[in-house]
Amino acid sequence: MDQELKQRLAMLQESDFAADDMKLYLDTHPDDTAMLMNYCMHVQKSAMLRSEIESHFGYPLSAQSAAFLPPPFKWINSPWPWCSEWPGEDALLTAKGAPLPFGHSACGEISQSTSLCEEETTKMCSEITDGGEN
């Protein structure tokens, strides 16, 4: 598996897990606006990583996303997550601080770095959570 893809998968797992944990907190604290904002940012970050993993690397995380990739049907491709060939967390260690060099629809086609993505995501999530207060 491509080293860059391994890094992105490890980053996605980390971001998705953070979002999962925040979701459980929000289940019992639905009025916590700051946490909703934080949740929004992590879900956005995951959406960007997911889109990159699927579009740029051609690795479908869901059967549905395999519908948008050229034949053959890539959903069936190994490795499956329970195989030891799946990237471990050492991939995440090398991914810390690594830039996202590819464009994302959520950040505009020409975005070059995570910092720009974060800026746009923060703005978008602020608009959503501010809207809830009014």
Partner 1 sequence: MWYYEKKLQKPISIKHTNPELAKIIITQYGGPDGELGASLRYLSQRFTMPNEICKSVCNDIGSEELGHLEMVGTLVHQLTKGISCEEVKKSGLAEYYVDHSTAVYPTSASGTPWSAASIQSTGDPIADLTENLAAEQKARLTYDNILRLSDDPDVNDVIRFLRAREIVHFQRFGEALRSVQDLSDCKSTFAVTPICDC
| Residues at the contact surface with partner 1, assessed by CB under 8 A | 9-10, 12-13, 16-17, 20-21, 23-25, 27-30, 60-64, 80-82, 84, 86-89, 91-92
Cα–Cα nearest to 15, from 96, 84, 88: 96
Shorter beta-carbon distance to partner 1: residue 19 or 111: 19
Q: Which is nearer to partner 1, 49 or 111 (CB)?
A: 49
Counted residue by residue, the chain has a size of: 134
Shortest distance, position 47 Cβ to partner 1, whole Å: 13
Select 76 or 128, whichever has its Cβ closest to partner 1.
Answer: 76
The torsion region of residue 108 among left (phi > 0), alpha (psi -120 to 50) and beta comes to left
Helical spans, DSSP H, in 96-134? 114-133
